[in-house]
Structures are given as C-alpha cells and as structure tokens.
Amino acid sequence: MNVRRWVMPVVAVAALVVIAAAPGLLSPFMVQFVINLFMLAILAESWNIIGGFAGYASFGNVAFFGLGAYTTGILITKAGWTLAMALAAAAVVPMLFAALVGLPILRLKGHYFAIATLGVAETMREVVYNVEVTGAGTGLVMPIARTPALFFYLMLAILVAVTLVNAWLAHSRFGYGLVAIREDEDAAAAMGIDTTRYKTIAFAISGAFAGITGGVFAYWITFIDPDAVFRVIVTIQMIIMAVFGGAGTVAGPLLGALVLASVSELLSTQLVALAELFNGLIVILVVLFMPKGLLEVVKAGRGSFRVMARNLREYRV
Amino acid sequence: MTTRESQRRWGLFVGTLVSAILLAGGIAHAADEIVLGTAISQTGKYAREGKFYVDAYTLTVDAVNKAGGVKVGGKTYQLTLKMYDDQSDPSLSVRLFTKLVTSDKVNFLLGPYSSGITIPASAVAEKYEIPMIQGGGASGKIFDRGYTYIFGTLPKAELYFQSAIEAAAKMNPPVRTAALLFSNEAFDRSVGEGSRQWLKDAKIDKVYDEEYQPATQDFTSILAVIKTKNPDLILVAGHEENSLNFIRQAQAAGVNPRMMVFTVGPPTGDFRKTLGRAAEYVYGVTPWLPDMEIGGDIFKSARDFDKQFQPRFGYAADYHVASGAADVLAFKAAIERAQSLDAKKVREALAALDVETLYGRIKFESTGQIAMSQVLVQILDGKVVPVYVAGRFVNKPVYPAPKWSERK
Amino acid sequence: MLLLQVLINGLLLGGLYGIMALGMSLIWGVMNIVNVAHGALIMLGAYLTFWMFYLWGLDPFVSLPLTIASLFVYGYCLQRWVLNLVVRAQLFLTLLITFGVEVVMINVARLLWSSDLRQVAPSYAAANFEVGELTIPWVRLWVFATTLVLSLVFLVVLEHTRLGRAIRATSEELRAARLTGIPVAHIYAVTFGLGAALAGAAGGLWGMLFPITPVMGGSLTLKSFVVAVLGGLGTMLGAIVGGLVLGLAESFTATYLGPTYPNAISFGLLVLILILRPTGILGRKT
C-alpha cells in the first residue's frame, strides 16, 4: 500500500475537522474575517476554472456574484423563498446566464474577451440600477440572521466543493482538455476537443460558484445595492489572489486568498487610510516579482531572490 | 531546499500572519475611559463627507474631556475614540464594526456616512445590542426594520423638501409648476417619494419627475428637457458634486427657474467657494446653521461650536459636522442620565432623551430617528440666509431669482 | 428645438470622449497593453491644470501645453522603468499591474491633495451664445475645437513623422522593427508618453467642465474602453468617431429614454460591438 498517496487527503480531512470547530473557538471578529476569507478563496478558486485552467482571463466574474446575490435577495424578500431554495437558485441562475453569455463571448480572445466580460458586469450593474424588482438604487434589505456560524459553514461547504472541483479538473480528461485549450486552442481543436463545449462548461461552473457565494454574501451582509455587489475590485481581487497563489493549480488560489486577505485585513486595521495604497503597491510587486505565483518563489528556498530577479527580466521588452 | 522545508517555511509565514491578526485587535482599555468606536469613510467615494464626521467626533470628544469628561456613579470617565476607515465599502464596514464590538470591546458605536453603509452597519449594532448613534444617514430604510439599537440625528429623508415646497407655494407670485430630479440612491429616492406628496398637497403641478444615476456629471440633456417645460421650481436631490454640476450647467444652458432647491450643497462652505457668484439665489435645506439660537452642554451656542471648529480644521462647520457632534453629546447625556455604562440602560436613556444642544433639540422618535425640521436657506451675497422654517418666513427671500443673463 | 440641442450636446461632449480614448487606443494598439490606469492619468492632467490655475492664475487653455508635456514625461518614465518589464507577459498580468498603478496614483493624489472637490472656473466658464432656440456654452465649443486640433496634430505626427513611422513599425512587426535598429524600449516609452500626454490633455479639458477629485478616473477609464472598442482598437480616427458616437448615444438616451439609462446603453453597446464586430466601426479585420 502506498502510504504517501494517503498523506495529503488525510491531512486535508484533519484540517477540515479543525476548521469546522473554529466558530466555537475563535472570537466573533475572527469568525467574520474567516467568512470573508472563505468567500475570497471561493471566488479565486472559481475564477481559476475559467482563468487559470482554461486560460480565458475573465474580468467580469463579479457579474455572476452580483447576479447570485440579487437572485437570493429578490427570492427571499419578494417571493418568500427559504434560504436553501434561494441559494440553490443563486447557483443555477448565474450558471445559466454564464452559459448563455458565454456562447457569443467565448469566441473572443485575449483582451477582447477580458473587456467583453467587464462590459457584461458593468451592463448588469446598470440594468439592476434601473429595474424596480431589484430595488433599483435603494437596494434590498434582507432579514437579519443572528447566527454567524451559519455563514461560516455555508462558505466552508462551498469552498470545499469548489476546491474538489479544481482537484478533479487537475486530474480529469476534462481538465486536461481545458489546459490544452489554454496552451494552444487550435491544436486542441485539431485533436478533436469540442472547445466551445469545454469553454462554456468551464465558464458555467465558474459562474455557478460565484453566484451561490453571492447569495450567501447577500444574506450575510443583510443589505445589497448595485454598488455593493458589482464592484470591479472584487474581480481584481479574485484574479490577483489566484495569480499570487499560482493560477492553474489547485491549492494556489486558496493560498493566495489566505495570504492576501490576511495582509489586507491587517493593513486595514493597522494602517487605516493607507491600506489601499499598500494594496496597490502589493499588486504591482506581485506582478513584477512573482507572476507565476508565490509557490514558485518559495520553492527555490535560498535561490528565491534569484527567481524573483529572473521574473523581473523575463517578460520585458 | 526540499519541498518539505519550503512547506514548513510556508506554514511559519502563514502562522505568523494569522497570529498577527489575532493579536492586532483586542487591546484592553483603561478602566476609567469610555470608548466610542466607529468605522467611517476616510478613503473612497465618501472620503470628503466622511472627514466631516471624523473631525466632528474628534473635536467633541476633546471638548467633553476638557470640560471634565462624563460623570457616572461619582466617577469621572474620559471619552476615547477608536476610528477605522471603511474605504466607503459596506461589507468592510460590517467587518470593522464587528471588530469594534467583539474584539476592541468598545462601549458604544458612532455611525458611518451614507444610508447605504449605515443600513448594514446598524445591523451589527442591533445584533450585538450595542447602541449606535449615527449622523450620516437619513433614509427611512435605516429605521423601518424595527431595530431598537440604532438612533439617527439626521431628519427623515422624506421630509427634506417639505419646508421648501411649503414656502414655494406661499411665495409671491406663488410657484405653480415644479421639476423633480433625484439620484438613484436610497436617501435621494426617499426624498423624491416625500416630495411628490408635498407637491400634491401644495397643489403644485409636477411637470418633470426623473431620477439620474448617482455618478452622473453631465446634466445637459436633462437640462435641455427641463428648459422646454419651463418650471417655476426645480428640486434636485443628490450629492454635492451633482448639485455643483447642475448649477454650473444650468447657467451654461440658460435655464432660469424662479427657485432652485438642493438637498446637499448650499449650506456647505466649499460649495459656495467653488461656485462663486453662480451660487447666488440658490436655495438649500439644512437642519442647522451656526447662527441659530441654540446651545447646551459643552457648547454654549452653535456659534460657539463653529468658533472652536473652524480654526482647528480650517473650514466652517455645516450640518454634517454639527450632526456628528450631536451624536457624541447624545451619548454623554444618555450615559449620565442612565448613570451606567450598561448597553441596555444607555439604550433606554437614549430612547427617552430630550436635551438641548448646539445642534438643537435631540429627541428621538420611536423609530430612533430624530424629529427636526429643515430650514429653507438661500445664498445671498455669499452668505447662507435662513428664509423659511416651522411654517413661517423668517427673512425675505429674493424671488424670483434674476435670470442668469441679467446678473452682474 | 430639443432634437437639435440634444444633437449638439452629444457632439460637443463626444469630442472630449474621443480624445480621452485616443491615448488608450494608441497604447493598446501599439503595445497590446490595456491601461487600466488611463483614468488616473486623466485625473493627474486635471489636477495639474487646476493647480496651475489656482496657484499661478494660468488660464486652462494656456496651460494645456504644460500639462501635456508633464504627462508625457510621466508616462515615458512609467513605461520605461515599470511597464516595460511586463510588456511580453500574459495580457491579464499587464491589466493587473496597470490596475495597481491606478490604485497607487489615486491614493497618492488623495494624500497630497485631499478628496475635496476642485473646479477650474475661469471667468468665461458659464458664458454661452444663442442660435435661435439653441443655447451653446462657449467653453464646450472651445473644448471641442481643441480636441479636434489636438487629434489632428496627433494624427499628423503618427502618419508623417519619423517618430510616427517608428511607432507604427514597432506595433506591426516587433522583430523586424528591432532588426532595423529601432530602439524598442525607447519607442514603447515614447508611445506610452504620447498616450499619457493625450490623457493629460483630456484631463485638463475635462477639468474645465466638471469637478476634479482623486477618484474621478474610474468611470472615465470605462468610458474610454467603450469608445476605443466602438471606434476600432488601434485606429486613431476610430477613437474620435467612437467618441462622437458615444456622446450622441448618451445624449439621446438620457433625453428620450431617461437619465438612468445612458450607462446601461453604453456598456451594452460595448458588449454588442465585441460580439458582432470586434474590430469596431472603423477597424479593419486583421
């Protein structure tokens, strides 16, 4: 029996059990922080599916997040649905939307695709502003839930699910297909991969996870308006976290989210008004010195400075 | 380095980070201090208005401490402020308020700026049953959820234009037609809802009723349409930037109503400074003016407050500032009335509070929102002149406003 | 006549949109860099114009060349020593780094100059003249004229000077350009400098019409995206045409549909154009 193959899964399950006990052990503020951290990690992992594996850098994933938030919000406040049903809808509606929108948009490449997805996110925000059922500019007020542990476990469950999906992608034919599309789409098509179907499915799964997260977020924050849930910075955050941890890997976005969210929270509470400035500087430094992720640099141990210097020179003119 | 070693270093790094966060908050505070905590917009789109509250809270806390602090049960307590920056982000605001309550263990909460942030932030106060007084959100939505731990010192949004419309109907010759323009946001939409009712009551014809996106800067199309309707009165609900743009562009487009009223802008110093002569004859609404004959504890009069505020912060106080100061004073009064630091007892004291201050009479309705009427003011000769309040004219307004082309 | 007034309003503002997008289109077309910090550059130009007006009393039209020159230098340095390091990286990395630059610029501006609203208000700011039932503000007309002149000058530089040819050569075939001895790093920096200079000009002009704050750039970057794509990426004339089209679309939508719709329409247009005709109105299929 190959013991080493079982080490990682056992460690993972043990870690999960410890984490699951957290709400009872941590202070309420830490619980809030961890909920936020889980949320960012889910978004990074979900972006990873379309951006990391398939190589289609979407700059509009916040559209699915916001759509999920509003789906849940409207169904709970206007149609009296239960949280469970509303969350299920928050996964399904963005998923269908992603598939629908993906059909024309996934035909675009590179920058065009990125800008198109950004355009979709912005259009959606403006549409929500104009429609009465969403509460337009006034927003939606949700019922208050007095158990933060609920959100903790919801986010944890979704995080486990999206990480498992990423892990599956890393070892399945479908995932290899996505990587093939990323490396050379024409060659992949020539090999017989139905690139349209693969891309659309990846986009839809990515959208579903972002959507259900948005639903939980709406209930957690108790109030949503278009400006709160369709923020471009959220998309940037998920991308930078995935990149920092290592886009296209399974654990990368998780680690990226963990480190960057912690740093950001630390800055917000210690530096207050300078936090945003430092966040911007961090983004610049990450792109310059660790564009392939933190792991690449850390693995080199003593040679990490050399790796960073090499990264600095690698992409220049 | 082997993978095992790099993983260990990883773990060390992450562990240090997490510990840093755990330790970053939760500093025990001194036994004889009362900590007022808040997360306010110091950066982001509300940074400008957020500063009014930062400065107001700071000045008032200092003034209270200098005057002997807060006396409870024979002991004297000093007030301390713990302020975070919510970066104009509602979800960060919620996390920071949670931190203030659970980790920093502040005694009471002061509110953020804007209804959109106050709505979720007040949910935190309600959840942990710590009273929050806010002076930056006026939308009814903050107060119609049945919460008991949120109090507000800005009057109800729906009432904002009441005095303006009443006065308009009583002008000579009276206003007959009006255009209503409001921003697509919680507060302004509430203002719009209220205004429609007042216009109907005053039997003024509404010839234009539109909302615009909060980020709108170019009003030329709106003005082109309004010009064709030629209303006597234009009511605009929005933020200061919207008001600024509207007035300048109205001048450039040659739109000449008899009366123009704005929810935000006219009472504030830098608004008049930025517009210069173009601000003349413009009307605004404010619950507070530095000349008002009001005063109370710590600040003997509104004028006295402004005299302490302006030299220290470099700009004249307006109602945002006064509202922020009132929040701190309301806590002092409630704590001393309850003679306790217990959250529930202070909440009850707040609900029953009735005290005169530099901001006016602080008395909260059952919903938690203050009941205060708006004063209609007009900018004349660069100064803010109160024109109409509590049902009567207190000064003669210049009406109708002279046409743009006829002004010097 | 309302229709004519709406038309004129749209055209006048559209010219400004055009020059705003010109800088972004140039950088995108030549170096394949999507400059998310574009709005921040516009903001910087606006602030420079404001401070020269406020401190030295310089009329904003007079100080425009100064603003343009300053932004050129700034843009050159930014590209030469920061952005040149990532030019060959994957697209989203360049997007990320320019986003980081934007955040830094906005926060530095806020720390230096506070979030107070600034306005450039020369004495003629609200003057207008009437043609029949139309009212046309002088400043808008002059701003429009300036954008046309600047665009023309820029197009001439691009088509008929050695520098312009070098820039176009570098954008079309990098390796060949290198082989003919064109100093690519320098040309890239000059290109970005030009793009920044155009953004600075747009900022100076914008500041004459609208208030200036550190965060004014975000929505302008998005607008520039729409205009650049609408007109055709990389085609300079396309940016102007795209600007006019957007200006008209916004003006008509605001008047006849309602003031809350223009943004929805413009972003919807962006998505539609990308789906139906990614090369834009004037672009050629490569």
DSSP string, B25-46: S-----TTEEEEEEEE-SSSTT
Asked if C84 lies within 8 A of A317 by C-beta distance, the reply is yes
Residues in chain B: 408
pLDDT of residue C52: 96
CB B123 within 8 A of CB B141: no
- The answer to which of A169-173, A310-314, C248-252 has the lowest mean pLDDT is A310-314
Local confidence band at B3 (pLDDT 50, 70, 90 cut-offs): low
- The answer to which of B24-33, B224-233, C110-119 has the lowest mean pLDDT is B24-33
Q: Among all chains, which residue has been given the structure tokens 């993906």?
A: A102
CB C7 within 8 A of CB C133: no
Q: Nearest Cβ partner of B85 from A129, A258, A275?
A: A275
pLDDT of residue C90: 78
**What three-state secondary structure class fits B379?**
strand
Q: Among all chains, which residue has been given the structure tokens 């800067």?
A: B217
Query: For A66-112, what is each residue's pLDDT tens digit?
Result: 999 999 999 999 898 999 999 999 999 999 999 999 999 999 988 88
- CA–CA distances in Å: residue C72 to residues C42, C191, C204: 12, 9, 14
* ipTM of predicted complex: 0.87
The 10 Å Cβ neighbour count of residue A4 is 7
Chain A residue numbers touching B94 (CB-CB < 8 A): 32, 221
Asked if B123 lies within 8 A of A222 by C-beta distance, the reply is yes
Query: Of all residues in chain B, what percent carry a pLDDT higher than 90?
Result: 65
In sign, the C-alpha dihedral spanning B161, B166, B169, B173 is: negative
Q: Among all chains, which residue has been given the structure tokens 């504030």?
A: B268
pTM metric for this prediction: 0.87
Average pLDDT over residues B202-231: 93
Q: Which of A268, A294, A296, A304 to mutate to test the interface with B (most CBs of B within 10 A)?
A: A268
State the nearest Cα–Cα gap between B29 and chain A, in angstroms: 17
Q: Does A280 touch chain C (CB under 8 A)?
A: yes
The 10 Å Cβ neighbour count of residue B45 is 22
Nearest residue of A to residue B189, measured between CA atoms: A138
- A65 closest CA partner among A138, A131, A158: A158
pLDDT of residue A4: 67
Q: Does A262 touch chain B (CB under 8 A)?
A: yes
Local confidence band at B8 (pLDDT 50, 70, 90 cut-offs): low
Assigned token pair, B361: 């009479």
Chain C residue numbers touching A231 (CB-CB < 8 A): none
Asked if B218 lies within 8 A of C250 by C-beta distance, the reply is yes
Q: Does A243 touch chain C (CB under 8 A)?
A: yes
The segments of chain C whose pLDDT lies below 70 read: 284-286
| φ and ψ at residue B86, rounded to 5 degrees | -85, 0
In whole angstroms, give the CA distance from residue C2 to residue C132. Answer: 12
The residues that bridge with C135 in the sheet, in sequence order, are C130
Task: Report chain B's mean pLDDT, rounded to a whole number.
Answer: 89
**What three-state secondary structure class fits B284?**
strand
| φ and ψ at residue C229, rounded to 5 degrees | -70, -40
- CA–CA distances in Å: residue B102 to residues A30, B17, B22: 9, 20, 12
pLDDT of residue B7: 59
Query: For C151-204, what is each residue's pLDDT tens digit?
Result: 899 989 888 998 888 888 887 777 777 778 878 889 999 999 999 999 999 999
- Please return the burial class of A296, using the count of CB atoms within 10 Å of its CB with bins 0-12, 13-18 and 19+: middle
DSSP B315: S
More confident residue, A307 or B68: B68
In whole angstroms, give the CA distance from residue B110 to residue B260. Answer: 34
Chains in touch with A (≥3 Cβ pairs < 8 A): B, C
Q: Which of B104, B185, B242 to mutate to test the interface with A (most CBs of A within 10 A)?
A: B185
- Domain range summary for chain A, segments of one domain joined by +: 37-241
> Side chain identity at A224, as an amino acid letter?
I
Local confidence band at B22 (pLDDT 50, 70, 90 cut-offs): low
pLDDT of residue B1: 47
Q: Nearest Cβ partner of B98 from A28, A137, A228?
A: A28
Q: Among all chains, which residue has been given the structure tokens 């509404």?
A: B206
Q: Does A148 touch chain C (CB under 8 A)?
A: no
In whole angstroms, give the CA distance from residue B354 to residue B361. Answer: 7
B264 has a pLDDT exceeding 80: yes
First to last CA, chain A: 51
The 10 Å Cβ neighbour count of residue C124 is 13
The residues that bridge with B150 in the sheet, in sequence order, are B132
More confident residue, A131 or B44: A131
Asked if B248 lies within 8 A of C215 by C-beta distance, the reply is no
Query: How many CB contacts within 8 angstroms connect chain A with chain C?
Result: 140
Query: For B61-82, what is each residue's pLDDT tens digit?
Result: 999 999 999 999 889 999 999 9
Asked if A141 lies within 8 A of B141 by C-beta distance, the reply is yes
> Side chain identity at C179, as an amino acid letter?
L
Q: Nearest Cβ partner of B228 from C2, C126, C137?
A: C2
CB B230 within 8 A of CB A156: no
pLDDT of residue C33: 86
Assigned token pair, B85: 């920056």
Nearest residue of B to residue A257, measured between CA atoms: B14
b/e C176-212 (16+ beta carbons within 10 angstroms → b): ebeeeebebebbbbbbbbbbbbbbbbbbbbbbbbbbb
Query: For A126-142, what is each residue's pLDDT tens digit?
Result: 999 988 888 888 888 88
In whole angstroms, give the CA distance from residue C18 to residue B384. Answer: 41
- Domain range summary for chain B, segments of one domain joined by +: 33-155+292-362, 159-290+374-406
- Name the CATH topology of C2-276: ABC transporter involved in vitamin B12 uptake, BtuC (1.10.3470)
Q: Does A242 touch chain C (CB under 8 A)?
A: no
A23 has a pLDDT exceeding 90: no
Local confidence band at B274 (pLDDT 50, 70, 90 cut-offs): confident
pLDDT of residue B376: 95
List all residues 6 or more positions away from A41 whose beta carbon is below 8 Å from its beta carbon: A159, A241, A253, A254, A257, A258, A261
- CA–CA distances in Å: residue B150 to residues B118, B322, B364: 10, 19, 10
Q: Does A240 touch chain C (CB under 8 A)?
A: yes
Angle among Cα B215, A240, A124 to the nearest 5 degrees reads 35
Local confidence band at B325 (pLDDT 50, 70, 90 cut-offs): very high
Angle among Cα B193, B199, B200 to the nearest 5 degrees reads 95
Q: At what angle do helices C217-231 and C91-113 cross, to 10 degrees?
A: 140
Say which CATH class B159-290+374-406 falls into.
alpha beta
> Side chain identity at B360, as an amino acid letter?
G
Local confidence band at B334 (pLDDT 50, 70, 90 cut-offs): very high
What number of helices (H) and strands (E) belong to chain A?
A: 16, 2
Average pLDDT over residues B125-144: 91
Task: Report chain C's mean pLDDT, rounded to a whole number.
Answer: 90
More confident residue, C119 or A303: C119
B187 has a pLDDT exceeding 90: no
Q: Among all chains, which residue has been given the structure tokens 């969350």?
A: A87
Chain B residue numbers touching C135 (CB-CB < 8 A): 227, 252-254
CB C265 within 8 A of CB C246: no
Nearest residue of A to residue C100, measured between CA atoms: A280
Assigned token pair, A144: 């208050």
**What three-state secondary structure class fits A258?**
helix
Q: Nearest Cβ partner of C104 from A239, A280, A291?
A: A280
More confident residue, C282 or B20: C282
| φ and ψ at residue C150, rounded to 5 degrees | -60, -45
HSE toward the beta carbon, residue A54, CA cutoff 13 A:
27
Average pLDDT over residues A230-256: 88
Chain A residue numbers touching C188 (CB-CB < 8 A): 317
CB B248 within 8 A of CB B219: no
Q: Nearest Cβ partner of B9 from A217, A258, A298?
A: A298
pLDDT of residue B13: 65
In whole angstroms, give the CA distance from residue A178 to residue A172. Answer: 10
Q: Does B313 touch chain C (CB under 8 A)?
A: no
DSSP string, B177-214: EEEEEEESSHHHHHHHHHHHHHHHHTT-EEEEEEEE-T
In whole angstroms, give the CA distance from residue A65 to residue A231. Answer: 10
State the nearest Cα–Cα gap between A92 and chain C, in angstroms: 23
Chain A residue numbers touching B95 (CB-CB < 8 A): 29, 32-33, 36, 265
Asked if B186 lies within 8 A of A225 by C-beta distance, the reply is yes
- Please return the burial class of B12, using the count of CB atoms within 10 Å of its CB with bins 0-12, 13-18 and 19+: exposed
DSSP string, C126-139: T-EEEETTEEEEHH
| φ and ψ at residue A107, rounded to 5 degrees | -75, -15
Chain A residue numbers touching B43 (CB-CB < 8 A): 273, 275-276
Local confidence band at A203 (pLDDT 50, 70, 90 cut-offs): very high
pLDDT of residue C284: 63
Asked if B48 lies within 8 A of C115 by C-beta distance, the reply is yes
Give CA A109 to chain center in angstroms: 21
Asked if B184 lies within 8 A of A129 by C-beta distance, the reply is yes
CB B179 within 8 A of CB B229: yes
- Domain range summary for chain C, segments of one domain joined by +: 2-276
Chains in touch with C (≥3 Cβ pairs < 8 A): A, B
> Side chain identity at B312, as an amino acid letter?
R
| Domain B33-155+292-362 CATH superfamily | Response regulator (3.40.50.2300)
Average pLDDT over residues B382-388: 92
Query: Of all residues in chain B, what percent carry a pLDDT higher than 70?
Result: 92
Q: Nearest Cβ partner of B21 from A262, A300, A302?
A: A262
